[in-house]
Amino acid sequence: MTVDRPPEQVIALVQECRKLSSECEWLEFKENDDREEEIGQNISALANSAALLGKAFAYVVWGVNDSSHEIVGTTFNPRTAKVGSEELESWLLKLLDPKISFRFFSVDVDNKHVVVLEIGRAFRSPVRFKQRKYIRVGSYTKALAGLPEKERELWRILDDTPFEDCYAAERMTSDRVLELLDYPAFFHLLGLPLPEVKSGILEALESDEVIKQEHSRWAVTNLGAVLFARNLSKFGSVKRKAVRVIVYEGNNRMTTVKEQPGGKGYASGFEGLIEYVNELLPSNEVLGAALRRTLPVYPEIAIRELVANALIHQDLAVGGSGPMVEVFDDRMEITNPGKPLVEPHRFVDHAPKSRNEALASLMRRMGVCEERGSGIDKVVFQTELYQLPAPLFEADEDTTRVVLFAPRPLQKMGKPDRVRACYLHACLKQVSHDSLTNSSIRERFGIEKKNSALASRLIKEAVDAGQITPRDPNAAPKYMTYAPWWAGAAEPEPVLDN
Concatenated DSSP letters for 446-470?
T--GGGHHHHHHHHHHHHHTTSEEE
Whether 208 and 251 map to the same domain: the answer is no
Q: How many CB atoms lie within 10 A of CB 228?
A: 26
Whether 55 and 69 map to the same domain: the answer is yes
Q: Tell me which of 211, 240, 269 is where a domain ends.
A: 240
Out of 125-134, 138-147, 367-376, 440-449, which region has the weakest mean confidence (pLDDT)?
367-376
Q: Tell me which of 128, 160, 192 is where a domain ends.
A: 160
Whether 62 and 123 map to the same domain: the answer is yes
Whether 257 and 339 map to the same domain: the answer is yes
Whether 449 and 480 map to the same domain: the answer is yes
Residues of the chain by 3-state class (helix, strand, coil), percent to 5: 40, 25, 35
| Count of domains observed in the chain | 4
Whether 466 and 332 map to the same domain: the answer is no
Whether 261 and 382 map to the same domain: the answer is yes
Whether 181 and 217 map to the same domain: the answer is yes
Domain-located, residue 114: yes
Whether 88 and 197 map to the same domain: the answer is no
Domain-located, residue 257: yes
Q: Residue 492 pLDDT more than 50?
A: no
Out of 60-64, 81-85, 349-353, which region has the weakest mean confidence (pLDDT)?
349-353
| Alpha-carbon separation of residue 129 from 41, 92, 143 (angstroms) | 6, 8, 11
Supply the CATH number for residue 487's domain. Answer: 1.10.10
Q: Running DSSP on this structure, what letter comes out for residue 67?
A: T
Q: Tell me which of 213, 240, 267 is where a domain ends.
A: 240
Cα–Cα distance measured from residue 452 to residue 468, given in angstroms and rounded to the nearest whole number: 18
Q: DSSP for 184-252?
A: HHHHHHTT-PPPSSHHHHHHHHHHTTSEEEETTEEEEEHHHHHHHBS-GGGBTTTGGGSPEEEEESTTS
Cβ neighbours for 231, distance < 8 A, ≥ 6 positions apart: 180, 263, 264
Whether 268 and 232 map to the same domain: the answer is no
Whether 260 and 328 map to the same domain: the answer is yes
Residue 365 backbone phi and psi in degrees, to 5: -60, -30
User: Residues 73, 27: contact at Cβ < 8 Å?
Assistant: no
Domain-located, residue 83: yes
pLDDT, tens digit, 9 for 90 and up, residues 86-140: 999 999 999 999 888 888 999 999 899 999 999 988 888 899 999 999 999 988 9
Supply the CATH number for residue 382's domain. Answer: 3.30.565.60
Domain-located, residue 1: no
Residue-level pLDDT at 350: 79
Question: 234 is in which domain, residue-wise?
Answer: 169-240
Whether 330 and 212 map to the same domain: the answer is no
Q: How many CB atoms lie within 10 A of CB 314?
A: 23
Residue-level pLDDT at 342: 87
Cα–Cα distance measured from residue 165 to residue 163, given in angstroms and rounded to the nearest whole number: 5
Supply the CATH number for residue 83's domain. Answer: 3.30.950
Q: Residue 484 pLDDT more than 60?
A: yes
Q: Running DSSP on this structure, what letter comes out for residue 336?
A: E
Cα–Cα distance measured from residue 28 to residue 472, given in angstroms and rounded to the nearest whole number: 72
The pairing of strands 283-287 and 292-296 is antiparallel
> Pick from 385, 379, 483, 381: which is nearest to 436 by CA?
483
The H or E element spanning position 170 is strand 167-172
Average pLDDT over residues 409-414: 93
The H or E element spanning position 302 is helix 300-313
Residue 304 CB-density burial (10 A; 0-12 exposed, 13-18 middle, 19+ buried): buried
Q: Residue 495 pLDDT more than 90?
A: no
Domain-located, residue 2: no
Domain-located, residue 95: yes
Please give the model's pTM, rounded to 2 decimal places: 0.78
pLDDT, tens digit, 9 for 90 and up, residues 267-298: 999 999 999 999 998 876 654 444 456 678 89
Domain-located, residue 369: yes
Residue-level pLDDT at 372: 55
User: Residues 129, 95: contact at Cβ < 8 Å?
Assistant: yes
